[in-house]
Amino acid sequence: MSRTVVVTGSTSGIGLGVARAFATEGANVVINGFGPADAIEATRRELDGLSSGTVLYHGADMTKPAEIEDLIATAARNFGTVDVLVNNAGIQHVAKIEEFPPEKWDQLIAILLSSAFHTMRHAIPLMKKAGHGRIINVASAHALTASPFKSAYVAAKHGILGLTKTAALELAEFGITVNAICPGYVLTPLVEKQIPDTARERGISEAEVRSEVMLRLQATKEFVSIEEVAAAAIYLASDAARSITGTHISIDGGWTAQ
């Protein structure tokens, strides 16, 4: 029988790559995120065609707890349970703390941190009932180390690692593992969008943002690929990873080794 996987923020970038990898394995997948309706439907169909299961779209806004509850309820109603929950949705905002708009702070914390609390609190009872589950939080190298001008992002990502460890301890005896993936820079729309802002904050060119900011500490001097992150999610969701819980996998080209 197909596993059921919910991936938040999967209309683009890493989340889409993760959803595609699970669909390719034959899972039922609930994709989520923003974008033009026709593009989302094209994505849903493409993934549905890859899977022997069914791929659905749910448009829950990760800043809205009631919509998040409906996302998990929709998965349960259609497929009976949630076997794998991937908390991935994210945005970025780059500014000095004293110029950081308070509403942006709240939005980043809501999407990057609180939404994972809400998906988890609704998915955990389903997983406990089933006697198994996998929760995978797409964190970041910024869960382990900081960069200037990314206060909300770094705070939320450090926070999600704490939530990961706490949930892992609470769920260890229920066959449910909880882990984080900490990618370095992956060239997705989220990263592309912050290049001009970072150039402005640092007073450097966009080319220098890529080479001197993003890839400076990434020892490989290469961006991480979406497929590499998706492969780690597939591994963490596998039976082989049943004893891995409360930890993280860094995929950062050596960034946090420094």
Q: Considering only residues 155 through 184, tell me which ones interact with ligand NAD, judged by CB under 6 A.
A: 183
- DSSP of 116-160, one letter per residue? HHHHHHHHHHHHHHHT-EEEEEE--GGGTS--TT-HHHHHHHHHH
Tokens representing 28? 């039922």
Interface pick for ligand NAD out of 109, 172, 191, 234 (rule CB under 6 A): 191
Mark 194-233 with x for binding to ligand NAD (rule: CB under 6 A) and - for no binding. ----------------------------------------
Interface pick for ligand NAD out of 5, 7, 11, 44 (rule CB under 6 A): 11
Q: 163: helix, coil or strand? A: helix
Minimum CB–partner distance for residue 52 and ligand NAD (Å): 24
Helices of type H across the chain: 13-24, 37-50, 65-79, 102-109, 115-130, 151-171, 189-202, 206-208, 226-236
Minimum CB–partner distance for residue 156 and ligand NAD (Å): 8
Pairing of strands 28-32, 4-7: parallel
Residue with tokens 């659905």: 56
**Residue (112 or 236) nearer to ligand NAD, CB:** 112
- Is residue 13 part of the contact set for ligand NAD (CB under 6 A)? yes
Active-site residue, 153 included: yes
Q: Which stretch binds ligand NAD (CB under 6 A): 6-14, 70-78, 93-101, 238-246?
A: 6-14
List C-alpha distances in Å: 257 to 47, 144, 158, 211, 218.
36, 11, 17, 18, 9
- Is residue 15 part of the contact set for ligand NAD (CB under 6 A)? yes
Minimum CB–partner distance for residue 130 and ligand NAD (Å): 25
Residue with tokens 């549905």: 48
Tokens representing 180? 């984080």
- In the complex, the residues that contact ligand NAD under the rule CB under 6 A are 9-15, 32-35, 61-63, 88-91, 111-112, 138, 140, 183, 185-186, 188-191
